[in-house]
Amino acid sequence: MDDSAFLVDIDEMNEMNDLFVDDQSVVAQPEPGPPPRVNKALLARLEEMHSTNSCQKLAWSRVGALAVVAPDRRSVKVHMFARNQNSDECSLYTVPSTTIVLPSSPHEIAHVTWDAAGSILVIVDCIGGMCIYTTYVCLNRFENYGHYDCPSEDVTGSVVGFDWFEQMRPAAYYHTAHRNGSAWKYIQTQTRPRGPTHPIHNKPAALIVSKAGGLRLIYGQPDYAFGYCRSTLDGIKSAEQMITHAAMGPDADQRLLLVTHDFSRTIRIYHVSVDWRVPAQFMKGPGQVSLPPGQKFDPRLISRPLASICNDIAEPFGTLTQLSHLQVLPEIVRDGTSTPLTIMAVMTVMSTSAYLLGQTSTDRHSRVVRWEVLETSEDLHPAFEQLNGNKSKNAPKTSEKGKTLKRLPDVDLPGVVVSVDFSQAFGQLIFTRSDGEIEFRSCMTLELVEPNPSSAQIHSPREAGLFFPPNGTLIHSALSANHCMAATRGEEEEHVAVKLLAHSAPTTASSAETTAQLASIILTFASSTVQNKANDDALANLQVFASAGKFSIASILREVFLSIDLNVDVLDEKKFASDTEHTSKFIFSPSLIRCLSLQQALHTHHGIPSPAAHVARIMINARLGILSMQFAQKTLFTDPSDIPASLLGTCNYLLTTIVFLASSILDLQRAAPEKVTHKWVQSRITDHAVPILPLLASAPRFLLRYCCRYLRTLIERARMSKDKRGLPFRKSWAAIADITTGSGLSLKAFESLLVELDHHARQAYVAAGVTNEKERADIELGCLISGEIPEALVPVVQRLVTTSAAKLAADRECDPMALFFADIRVLDLTDDRETREMHGHELSDGAVAQKFDIIRKTPMSLARVKTWRRCSRCCSVMENLHLRLCNQWLQGMQKSCVCGNAWILDGVDISKERLVGGNMGGAGSIFDVRA
């Protein structure tokens, strides 16, 4: 029989029912509302967070690279946050980027993480396999440093906890901005590592915990390879004791506090230590190990159970509570006191019906549970010693104090927490919720940090009134190294958005709120400076202040220089008259180069630098020249490569800078009135772009003086050279020896002029009544960062255009005509076609035939060079040289740009840059790196 015979017309049934309805009014029933929306992406994220503590899909390194796991979980793309070449803004660069793909692996990527230095990327798959990549000079170029297969081919080997060891060197950071009237004082503190560290201070090490209780230690070997060792945790004997989450934190005496949570909802704590087994004769000091050639580390993991406690969270009828985050909060040191070690667990609370139906109901919320880790007065129970099967029978008996956990009051948070970040500098926790809110809470009390910009102390941007604006549903989130920028991904997982802190201050720059907001961003910039982190996230926020007109660029830079106590007054004869400790400290200061880089970026508008930006660039390149010549002269006859040839471009660049400044002095002399006034001097700088500012501020004058000194020394050595290594070497020496021929200038005469200017500046300050060193330093700082000449230095300009200029022109080696017609294209100061061609700037017809190597100071033809490195901050470029093929001074100088920022690999066809990795997880799974 046809099945359609059993079909009933619903409309006919309704009509039949109407025939039998009583003659009574019919009450209309409300139509049922739409079913609760099912957010599949959020449900999948929750399921992931409930099963492991290592499920990070966005990871931001401390050097500015963002690793993003693709939506299909088969590849990782690495983007860079960098300054745009065609504008003044910083943005997330998607091209060029690096894609790491798994073309044949049957397992999905579960977790990505960067090491503490930000140069090593580890990719973990869902069964515990790992692949390690390290950045090779550029942020978007990687080398494969090893793969480690999982111990088992099932989920028992999946990673539930992954944490990097601390760096051995002390960590400094700024944590408080104190208001003192209209000024701010920034407080710095230093902490030393408490947990285990690698024996070599710049080597990485990490501890990985698997679901079955396996421990894996990965660590760097002396020969740049990676090693690993394995161990197991005791006490896991059933399926209920399988670990769901694991977290680690540094404890005292070079030990790690390991916290685990299992399916029975039991939290266990362990002490884990590493015996590196390095003989005492090879230990040369903290962080200095000198192993014999070929010998490698062979460490051993030692784990010791301490205590356990049930995660007894009361669940009302009809609700379900599941763990999503487990974290160990380290001690926070403030003014000599420290907070106790704390274990924090974030639980997702939802209705049982919503969980069973797979609905993202509105009644979901999060509960934060915390325990303080306290030391008991009694020794550890002997039973724990018997459980520790990892301990050697011949090991000495130790008397270790036990641990106990003290439950702190629970705190409920609205919404679902998708990520938690800890900021030691702020002393705060940053919770990102699925509804798009990012909130700051105190580490000690978990109270919401409320804006209080009028407070006398500011610890974080949130306290100053800054916030991350909500932006729809969030599934994944990662904060930048300085916690002032967020990368987020919503339901459409293919798009990654970047959030800056929102500035809600009044328009008046003198308001307490605005000054507090600026101080909070500078606080993060100061920390990044002493910690050698990328600070483009802080720069992007400072650019918002500058573009909004709330502060002048000079006032922002003044606050930056003062925050790190950087003194640019080098007129003190006792400190800087000769090669003293103060001289070397000033020249080699990494803080100086970072501040100058910021000055150059803020003072450049649409590619056009202001006088203050020119000064910063001259100082940056002068410092590079000093370091290059100083380093190269130590290896002139020990390095087999042709060092004089590689230095020729640097020497020519410095000499051209000096020639250009000398020519500007003579131009100023010809245009000067009989009596020089402050208004006239300033107009020559701003309106006529006469570069006398580097000659009037003491800091650039100091660096130029040392450039003259090192150039003269190198030229004298070249003229006396009797290099017997062949004709090419002799030609290189001859080129350096003749570099000043035809320049129209004597380096000795120009150096004498700089010394005279120092003397005249000291006299001018005394005549103006500036006898206090602090007051003089403040004037010098203002002259450097603003491009404005102080009234006190007008007499110096008067002498410069009369006595000093006449003395320079009268020198027998000085040729004013040669100075006037000198070729200054290498300085990139003019906008003519020849200069733009040399430096690879875009021309009107779009033709670009070469680039300018900022390290070696030579043009490079694009017919020969197909790939190059571009600076993430100043957009300068250099040839993509192989480190192992460079001479020693180039190896030291090319690892970062002249402005101290990282490189990005770029080029005509960077897709040819390709690396192939090794197996990961299952057999035959290969990482393929395409740049």
- The answer to whether residues 888 and 642 touch, using CB atoms and an 8 Å cutoff, is no
Residue 175, domain member (yes or no): yes
Torsion 469-474-479-483 (CA) sign: positive
855 and 772 belong to one structural domain: no
- Burial grade of 296 (CB within 10 A; 0-12, 13-18, 19 or more): exposed
808 and 838 belong to one structural domain: no
pTM, entire model: 0.87
Please give the pLDDT value at position 61.
92
Domain that holds residue 883: 832-912
836 and 809 belong to one structural domain: no
Q: How far is Cα 623 from Cα 600, in angstroms, rounded to an integer?
A: 15
User: Among candidates 90, 100, 98, 81, which has minimal Cα distance to 140?
Assistant: 98
Residue 816, domain member (yes or no): yes
- Burial grade of 697 (CB within 10 A; 0-12, 13-18, 19 or more): buried
167 and 207 belong to one structural domain: yes
Residue 216, domain member (yes or no): yes
Residue 605, domain member (yes or no): no
Residue 920, domain member (yes or no): no
Q: What three-state secondary structure class fits 903?
A: strand
Last residue of a domain, one of 503, 522, 551: 503
769 and 853 belong to one structural domain: no
Q: What three-state secondary structure class fits 186?
A: strand
Residue 535, domain member (yes or no): no
Half-sphere exposure of 872 (CA within 13 A, CB side): 33
Last residue of a domain, one of 827, 861, 882: 827
Q: How far is Cα 461 from Cα 457, in angstroms, rounded to an integer?
A: 12
Residues paired with residue 906 on neighbouring β-strands, in sequence order: 868
Last residue of a domain, one of 455, 482, 503: 503
Q: Which helix (H) or strand (E) holds 217?
A: strand 214-220
Please give the pLDDT value at position 379.
53
User: Residues of the chain whose pLDDT is less than 70?
Assistant: 1-38, 85-86, 88, 93-97, 102-105, 149-154, 286-287, 312-318, 335-336, 352-363, 377-401, 504-510, 577-579, 637-640, 688-689, 723-724, 844-846, 908-931
Please give the pLDDT value at position 94.
60
177 and 68 belong to one structural domain: yes
Rounded alpha-carbon distances, angstroms, from residue 572 to 616, 694, 702: 22, 18, 11
Q: What three-state secondary structure class fits 724?
A: coil
371 and 309 belong to one structural domain: yes
Residue 34, domain member (yes or no): no
815 and 851 belong to one structural domain: no
Task: List alpha helices for 726-883, DSSP H.
Answer: 727-737, 747-767, 773-786, 794-799, 805-810, 816-820, 833-838
303 and 177 belong to one structural domain: yes
- The answer to whether residues 326 and 245 touch, using CB atoms and an 8 Å cutoff, is yes
Q: How far is Cα 116 from Cα 114, in angstroms, rounded to an integer?
A: 7
Provide the token pair at 609: 């630098």
Domain count for the chain: 3
Residue type (1 letter), 406:
K
823 and 859 belong to one structural domain: no
Q: How far is Cα 860 from Cα 865, in angstroms, rounded to an integer?
A: 7
Residue/partner pairs of 613-619 with CB below 8 Å, 24 or more apart: 614/691, 614/693, 614/694, 614/829, 615/693, 615/694, 615/697, 615/700, 615/784, 615/787, 618/657, 618/691, 618/694, 618/700, 618/704, 619/694, 619/699, 619/700, 619/703
Please give the pLDDT value at position 908.
66
What's the distance, Cα to Cα, between the start and end of the chain in Å?
Answer: 66
Please give the pLDDT value at position 361.
53
- The answer to whether residues 797 and 681 touch, using CB atoms and an 8 Å cutoff, is yes
903 and 837 belong to one structural domain: yes
248 and 306 belong to one structural domain: yes
Q: What is the CATH number of the domain that holds 337?
A: 2.130.10.10
Task: List alpha helices for 532-570, DSSP H.
Answer: 536-548, 553-563
Provide the token pair at 627: 């370091």
Cα–Cα–Cα angle for 150, 151, 153, rounded to 5 degrees: 70
Residue 391, domain member (yes or no): no
Q: What three-state secondary structure class fits 915?
A: strand
Please give the pLDDT value at position 36.
53
Please give the pLDDT value at position 923.
29
